[in-house]
Every structure is written in structure tokens, then in C-alpha cells.
């Protein structure tokens, strides 16, 4: 955990609100494989990481308002609990407001509060800073006002905050990974039952590194919701609850009833779901070659079938493919920017970092950022 950041957030809270806060860490996540399968009721393979959101939270004496302070942005908003509405600016405020609104919609009463937060994952990096923020807010309010919410309830509140206040109809992967993370472990999560099996991750002489394109193309939120509705309409046509319940054979039977583009999107989801399960078996068997192949195949599908990649991500994956010490690479998260995740032999990491940073700069005249991350515990109090 980032101790400097914890200090900074704590001091910012104390200076502004003049009381002692409860400190919370809520991690971001990686996803080894299983992309865009969560909202199709399928499987994903995420893990919480040692980067995320640090929040300081405390009760407020005010009778009429609460306050939320984004320390890095130096922005503060006043929240009137009896008059909540989404902020038109569409910024970080909606993650906080959305959680409060979801509590209210469940008739859960809270008092006024103050929160200050900051983080060490860049927004738009596909590492789930939004779920981390939502989880930190709901977790903090649960502690502060003794709401007795379970972690399962809290992640649904976070997810619905994102649907109803942020406008992204996300699945449950990010909130789950951030809330339930276990140090050194990743999860095969069944997004229908919201139950997971954890896998200790030790790739021996290999490791996972992230490369951030440092771009986030604008269409990402609307394209995300579009993909979701395409999947839902094809599931309807197939008469199944979600694409997770369909096979390639089922899909073939309605091929003439859908556009070739939508057929490919649904096919991607069915195949990716299968890859996530296969990847869990490969990890269990220590078969990193197979895991790497599945990861590359996932990117192919995201690029050509599901069409949520972009030229910066494709470039990074192509660079990885040129290096025989990299077993697999793919875009991670919603897409249209953010990071690639790379399974690389440890002895190669340093030289690949230098190589890829220069190649990226030459190609796009901007810098990528490279992170090594450790798998961490989920949302919790910082003692
Ligand atoms: C985003 C969403 F928030 C997740 O629910 C998931 O769908 C992911 O994109 C794609 O796998 O992170």
C-alpha cells in the first residue's frame, strides 16, 4: 500500500474537516482473462492489486449537508442527502452520489458524513478506479453508520451506483475483485452465482506486467452499453437468460437472423467464456504456454470480433508477440484505451520495458506507463 498517499489523504481530511477519520483502502483490479463476459452471466479471472483508492471518512456535525473532497483534483462537493441527483458534469462525484442514492433507494438511513479520497491508479487505465471508489464509499458508510451490510450487498450497491448515476451498465467483476481480493490470489468468478474459486498465483519465472497506453477514447461508455445490449438481444433471440447459456452451435442456428457483426460479437463472448474456464485449468496445471495462448486469443477476439480495442492497444500486443519471452498479452478491461496485461519471463522484463517504451514513443509520440503489480487483499480498514 502507498504509505505516502495514506498520509496525504489523512492529513487532507484532518485539515479540512478537523476530526479523525476512518481510513480505508479499496484496490483496483487486473483481469487475467474473461473480458466482457461478466454481464453475460459468465466467467472472469480477476485479482485485486496493491494500487487503488485511499479514502478518509468521518461523521459530520452538519445538520444539512455532507462533503466529498477529491484530494488530487482539489475539488470539493456538497451533498444534500435529502436532495440527491446525478451531477451533470459526469465526473467522480457520481460515484459517491450514486452509492448514497442506492442506499436511500433501499431505505437505508445514513447521517451526514465527510469523505476525502485519492488514488494511485490513473482513471481510464482499465484497472477499475471507479469500482474501487464506489466500494470505498459504501464500505466506509457501512462502518460509520453500523449498517450491517454484507460484502455481497455492498458490491451490488456499488454496481447499481455505476448503472444509475454514472450510466455505465457494468457487470459485477470489478466491484467483486476490489471487495473480495486475497493477497497473491486471483479468482475464477462465476458472475451468475457471484461465487468464486480462488487460485494462488505464482508464475515462478514469469510475471504479469501492465502497460498503460495512457489513452482513453471517448466512445468507451456508449460503446460498452451498446455491446451489452447487442448481447442481451441475441440472448433473447436464442431464448436463453444470457449468452453464458448458449453454445456456438446454438448461435449458428440463428446466424441468418443477426448481422454478421453481431454474430461475431456473440461468438466472441461464448468463446471467451470458454477461454476463462480453460485458463483456470491451465493455471492449476502450471501450463503457462497454454495460458499465454488463451490470453493472445482473447485479444484477437476483442480486437476483431468484439471490436473494443484501439490502435494503441493493438500495437502493444503486436510488440509483445515479437518477443518470444512473452507468452501472452491482451487488452484489459472495457477497452478503447487503458492497459494491456502481459505474461512475461522475469529475466526479460527490464529489457522489454525499455524496448516497448521507445517503440511506443516512436509510434505515437507519447509515453506509455509500465506497472508491476502485486495481488492484494480487498477493500478494508487501514489499521
Ligand atoms: C469494465 C466493466 F466495469 C466490467 O464489469 C467488465 O464488463 C469489463 O469492463 C470488461 O470485461 O471494467
> Could you identify the atom of ligand 1 that is nearest to the CA of residue 170?
5
Residue-wise pLDDT tens digits, 324-356: 999 999 999 999 999 999 999 999 999 999 999
Burial class of residue 264 in the structure, from the number of CB atoms within 10 Å of its CB (0-12 exposed, 13-18 middle, 19+ buried): middle
Whether residue 379 lies inside any domain: the answer is no
Domain with 94 in it = 3-200
Probe target for ligand 1 pocket from 333, 338, 339, 340, with the most ligand atoms within 8 Å of CB: 333
Do 186 and 240 fall within a single domain? Answer: no
Q: Whose CA is nearest to atom 3 of ligand 1?
A: 170
Q: What average pLDDT does range 92-110 have in this prediction?
A: 97
Determine the pLDDT at residue 274: 98
Shared domain for 72 and 163, answered yes or no, is yes
Return the HEC string of the chain: CCHHHHHHHHHHHHHHHCCCCEEEEEEEEEECCCCCCHHHCCEECEEEEEEEEEEEEEECCCCCCEEEEECCCCEEEEECCCCCCCCCCCCCHHHHHHHHHHHHHCCCCCCCEEEEEEECCCCCCCCCHHHHHHHHHHHHHHHHCCCCCCHHHHHHHHHHHHHHHHCCCCCCHHHHHHHHCCCCEEEEEECCCCEEEEEECCCCCEEEEEEEEEEECCCHHHHHHHHHHHHHHHHHHHCCCCHHHCCHHHHHHCHHHCCHHHHHHHHHHHHHHHHHHHHHHHHHCCCHHHHHHHHHHHHHHHHHHCCCCCHHHHHHHHHHHCCCCEEEEEECCCCCEEEEEEEEEHHHHHHHHHHHHHHHHHHHCCCCEEEECCECCCCEECC
Rounded CA-CA distance 54/75 in Å is: 16
Looking at the fold, whether 156 and 231 belong to one and the same domain comes out as no
61, 72, 146, 174: which one is catalytic? 174
210 and 82 housed in the same domain: no
Domain identity same for 98 and 10: yes
**In testing the pocket of ligand 1, which one of 174, 244, 279 has its CB within 8 Å of the most ligand atoms?**
174
CA distances from 196 to 4, 173, 293, 366 (A): 33, 11, 23, 39
Same domain, 228 and 180: no
- At residue 383, the pLDDT reads 86
User: Which residues, 6 or more positions from 227, have their beta carbon under 8 angstroms from its beta carbon?
Assistant: 36, 265, 306, 308
Structural domain count, the chain: 2
User: What is the per-residue pLDDT across 128-171, written as a single tens digit (0 to 9) for each?
Assistant: 999 999 999 999 999 999 999 999 999 999 999 999 999 999 99
Q: What is the pLDDT, as a whole number, of residue 124?
A: 84
**Boundary (domain end) residue, out of 174, 200, 226:** 200
Domain shared by 363 and 250, yes or no: yes
The model's pLDDT over 42-74, given as tens digits with 9 standing for 90+, comes to 999 999 999 999 999 999 999 999 999 999 999
Based on the domain organization, do 21 and 99 belong to the same domain?
yes
- Residue 218: what pLDDT? 74
219 and 177, same domain (yes or no): no
- What is the value of pTM for the model shown? 0.97
Mean pLDDT of 98-112: 98
CATH number at residue 234: 3.30.70.890
Q: What is the atom index within ligand 1 of the atom nearest the CA of 172?
A: 5
pLDDT surpasses 80 at 220: no
Per the structure block, which three cell numbers stand in for 337?
A: 484505451
Task: Calculate mean pLDDT across residues 3-29.
Answer: 97
Instruction: Check whether residue 16 and residue 162 sit in a common domain.
Output: yes
Q: Quick one: pLDDT at residue 333? A: 96
Assess whether 218 and 71 both reside in one domain: no
Are residues 247 and 356 located together in one domain of the fold?
Answer: yes
Ligand 1-lining residues (CB < 6 angstroms):
35-36, 38-39, 128, 170-171, 173-174, 333-334
Burial category of 188 from C-beta neighbours within 10 Å (exposed 0-12, middle 13-18, buried 19 and up): buried
> Does 218 fall in a domain?
yes
Average pLDDT over residues 258-264: 98
Query: What percent of the chain shows pLDDT beyond 90?
Result: 95
Question: Is 174 contained in some domain?
Answer: yes
**Residue 123: its pLDDT value, please?**
80
- Ligand 1: which of 36, 44, 127 to mutate, most ligand atoms within 8 Å of CB? 36
Residue nearest to atom 9 of ligand 1 (CA): 334
356-374 average pLDDT score:
97
Nearest CA to ligand 1 atom 7: 36
Taking CA atoms, 326 is separated from 322, 340, 347, in Å, by 8, 12, 11
Active-site annotation holds for 367: no
ipTM over 0.95: yes
Q: Is the pLDDT of residue 172 over 90?
A: yes
The predicted structure's pLDDT at residue 219 = 67
Classify residue 219: in a domain, yes or no.
yes
**Banded model confidence at residue 36, pLDDT cuts 50, 70, 90:** very high
Predicted local confidence at residue 119, as pLDDT: 96
> Per the domain annotation, does 248 fall within a domain?
yes
Q: For residue 381, tell me if it sits in a domain.
A: no
CA of 17 to the centre of ligand 1 (A): 35
Mean pLDDT of the chain: 96
The C-alpha atoms of residue 58 and residue 13 are separated, in whole angstroms, by 9
Q: How far is the CA of 334 from the centre of ligand 1 (A)?
A: 5
Is 113 domain-assigned? yes
Of 168, 200, 232, the residue at which a domain comes to its end is 200
Above 90 in pLDDT, residue 362?
yes
Q: Is residue 383 part of a domain?
A: no
Q: Which of 200, 234, 264 lies at the terminal end of a domain, its last residue?
A: 200
Per-residue confidence (pLDDT) for residue 2, from 0 to 100: 86
- For residue 89, the model assigns a pLDDT of 65
Whether the per-residue pLDDT at 296 is higher than 90: the answer is: yes
Amino acid at each position: 500500500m502507498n504509505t505516502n498517499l495514506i498520509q496525504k489523504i489523512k492529513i487532507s481530511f484532518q485539515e479540512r474537516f478537523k476530526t479523525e477519520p476512518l481510513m480505508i483502502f479499496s484496490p483496483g483490479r487486473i483481469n487475467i482473462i474473461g473480458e466482457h463476459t461478466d454481464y453475460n452471466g459468465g466467467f472472469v479471472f480477476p485479482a485485486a492489486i496493491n494500487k487503488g483508492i485511499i479514502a478518509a471518512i468521518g461523521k459530520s456535525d452538519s445538520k444539512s449537508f455532507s462533503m466529498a473532497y477529491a484530494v488530487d483534483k482539489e475539488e470539493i462537493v456538497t451533498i444534500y442527502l435529502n436532495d440527491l441527483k446525478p451531477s451533470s458534469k459526469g465526473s467522480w462525484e457520481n460515484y459517491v452520489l450514486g452509492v448514497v442514492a442506492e442506499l436511500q433507494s433501499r431505505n437505508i438511513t445514513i447521517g451526514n458524513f465527510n469523505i476525502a479520497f485519492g488514488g494511485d491508479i490513473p482513471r481510464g487505465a482499465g484497472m477499475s478506479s471507479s469500482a474501487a471508489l464506489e466500494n470505498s464509499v459504501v464500505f466506509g458508510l457501512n462502518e460509520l453508520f453500523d449498517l450491517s451490510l454484507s460484502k455481497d450487498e455492498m458490491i451490488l450497491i456499488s454496481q447499481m451506483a455505476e448503472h444509475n448515476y454514472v450510466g455505465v451498465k457494468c457487470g459485477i467483476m470489478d466491484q467483486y475483485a476490489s471487495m473480495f481480493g486475497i493477497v497473491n490470489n486471483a479468482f475464477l468468478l462465476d458472475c451468475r452465482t457471484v461465487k468464486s474459486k480462488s487460485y494462488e498465483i505464482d508464475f515462478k519465472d514469469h510475471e504479469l506486467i501492465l502497460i498503460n497506453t495512457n489513452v482513453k477514447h471517448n466512445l468507451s461508455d456508449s460503446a460498452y452499453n451498446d455491446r451489452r445490449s447487442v448481447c442481451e438481444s441475441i440472448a433473447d433471440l436464442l431464448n436463453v437468460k444470457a449468452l453464458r447459456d448458449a453454445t456456438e452451435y446454438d448461435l449458428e442456428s440463428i446466424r441468418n437472423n443477426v448481422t454478421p457483426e453481431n454474430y461475431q460479437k456473440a461468438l466472441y463472448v461464448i468463446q471467451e467464456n470458454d477461454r476463462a474456464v480453460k485458463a483456470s485449468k491451465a493455471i492449476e496445471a502450471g501450463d503457462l504456454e497454454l495460458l499465454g495462448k488463451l490470453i493472445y486469443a482473447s485479444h484477437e477476439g476483442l480486437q476483431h470480433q468484439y471490436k473494443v480495442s484501439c490502435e494503441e492497444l493493438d500495437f502493444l500486443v503486436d510488440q509483445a508477440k515479437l518477443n518470444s519471452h512473452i507468452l501472452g498479452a491482451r487488452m484489459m478491461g472495457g477497452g478503447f484505451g487503458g492497459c494491456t496485461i502481459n505474461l512475461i519471463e522475469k529475466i526479460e522484463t527490464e529489457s522489454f520495458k525499455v524496448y516497448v517504451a521507445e517503440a511506443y514513443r516512436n509510434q505515437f509520440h507519447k509515453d506509455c506507463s509500465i506497472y508491476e503489480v502485486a495481488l492484494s487483499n480487498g477493500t478494508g480498514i487501514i489499521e
